[in-house]
Amino acid sequence: MGGYSWGSAFDSKSGQMIMVALLLMVGSFYTGTLFGNNNASIYVSQLSSSSNSSSSYGIYTFTNKVALAYRQTPIVIPESGMNVCPLKFNEYIPCHDVAYVKTLFPSLDLSRREELERHCPPLEKRLFCLVPLPEDYKLPIKWPTSWDYMWRSNVNHTHLAEVKGGQNWVHEKDQLWWFPGGGTHFKHGAADYIERLGNMITDDTGDLHSAGVVQVLDVGCGVASFSAYLLPLDIQTMSFAPRDGHENQIQFALERGIGAMTAAISTKQLPYPSSSFEMVHCSRCRVDWHENGGILIKEVNRLLRDNGYFVYSAPPAYRKDKDYPLIWDKLVNLTSAMCWKLVARKVQTAIWVKQENESCLLHNAEVKQINICDTVDDMKPSWKTPLRNCIPRRSAQTNPQKLPPRPDRLSVYSKSLSKIGITEEEFSSDAIFWKNQAGHYWKLMNINETDIRNVMDMNAFIGGFAVALNSLPVWVMNIVPVSMNNTLSAIYDRGLIGAFHDWCEPFSTYPRTYDLLHANHLFTHYKDHGEGCLLEDIMLEMDRIIRPQGFIIIRDEESITSRVQHLAPKFLWEVESHVLENKEKKTEAVLICRKKFWALV
């Protein structure tokens, strides 16, 4: 979103300035200026040996018990509060739990890496306890400093630094991780690489922004430095990578304040709408696009807008040894069959453009180069949908909407909204409403602009809340529940990013990855959806993904807000109830919840 500033103190070319920055950051941590309110009380397990003598230092015990607990039916929450999971579960991602997925191996297609996709355990096998902090966890470094640095103890994994340090992914510097901005194919810096891509696309006449790139999907994103260095161009990137041998890469990205989620392109469609990105980027993304009849690259075709680019930086694009020439030939045949045009190939990178050429597709189908399948309903959410090894026939009514660049795109009324009965008047009033509400929220939270970076709107509707935050130094993950109308297409048409999700299941992210969760009438929608979708289930997932001292804003009917207020202390949340006007100019309760900073010691 808006509001970025890039200080010269973080220029990777200046070792002296880096040392100054490190000293300032370490000093700021101990003085409390780097994080703002760093003097808040820390709540620790009642098992702490120091609990009796530490209260004068703002450290208090909590009554919740440390116990490995699983979801029961009916739900049982002890009087002492929600149980706390043992320390070893501090990185628990329920639907990407390696131990559980291994039990499914006999039923998975491992040749297609199906094990990397979401696999949620049945309800009785889901943990029902609060996920604890890792040892020596510190409140995250604020944006934009986090663009370059983060606390080592918050993601204390050395594998990436060991195997990718030579490519400048991440380096260890005392208590910190430092991100020089490199990658496997741009070890000398993402900025130069991005400039080169712009030159390749525009014949050295412009950059990616002037080439019309507004939204990018970064496949196998690593620590998301590519996405970070697109921000000065006001290019919004949805970065994703699986939970694989590159341990915790998405956790690194989110800790930095870069938009990302855990996902894999394998057997199912990605949870994003069709025709949503001007560019799909793969830099050594470890995806075999040429295998299985090109079914994965046909998913790229689904996601790209007309005249969008596929950027491929990988050995088959430039090496002539091993099997690389054979792989390249297969890619050329597949992309030609889809009527893509190779517009540039140099310096280890190839770039194709998806052309709008219906007659070419029909001809290639006649000569058996590609399969054409029936038109699909693009308004149906892409959620657990099997990949299709074909190119859908374009509907006769399809006429892609011409979209302006950002920031004008934020105000675009998408044609897709008219299909579900949302008028231009409702669209405009929604924007005005959320602009006013965002101002109220920040006053009620009583925080500085830089105190919040990672935001999730859990029931985003048409993205009005995200647009209202555009001038702040935040990014917003807009979630559209799959059981609601598909408004995510309209959100992407506004130049925003997001995903489909079902809140009866946990989200695909690491614990402690968001500073603010916004839930507008989310609980009301799910109150009749049955087991797994209960208020307590969703509150537990909120607690898992919110950071210590992070905020959760809940607007809902009175019976729900009362229940949340009753349960909040058991989840170690502070809660305040306020009254604001809703869209109908009637008053409704708004809860400002804040997760306490607690730890097991």
Half-sphere exposure of 350 (CA within 13 A, CB side): 17
pLDDT above 70: residue 511: yes
> What is the Cα–Cα distance from 371 to 389, expressed in whole angstroms?
7
Taking all residues of the chain, what is their mean pLDDT, rounded to a whole number?
89
Of the given ranges (48-62, 446-460, 507-521, 548-562), which has the lowest mean pLDDT? 48-62
186 — pLDDT class (breaks 50, 70, 90): confident
Give the other-Cβ count within 10 Å of 191's Cβ.
Answer: 16
17 — pLDDT class (breaks 50, 70, 90): very low
Spell out the residues 6+ positions from residue 390 whose beta carbon is closer than 8 angstroms to its own. Answer: 298, 370, 371, 372, 373
User: Which among 345, 377, 337 is positioned nearest to 361, based on CA atoms?
Assistant: 337
The predicted structure's pLDDT at residue 219: 97
* E strand or H helix that includes residue 160: helix 159-164
The predicted structure's pLDDT at residue 54: 37
| Residue owning tokens 């309209």 | 490
Give the other-Cβ count within 10 Å of 148's Cβ.
Answer: 24
The pTM of the full predicted model, rounded to 2 decimals, is: 0.92
Contact 93, 508 (CB under 8 A): yes
Highest mean pLDDT among 239-253, 371-385, 417-431: 417-431
The predicted structure's pLDDT at residue 596: 96
pLDDT in tens, 405-463: 999 999 999 999 999 999 999 999 999 999 999 999 999 999 998 999 999 999 999 99
Contact 315, 324 (CB under 8 A): yes
The predicted structure's pLDDT at residue 85: 97
Provide the angle, in degrees to the nearest 10, between the axes of the packed helices 324-337 and 295-303. Answer: 50
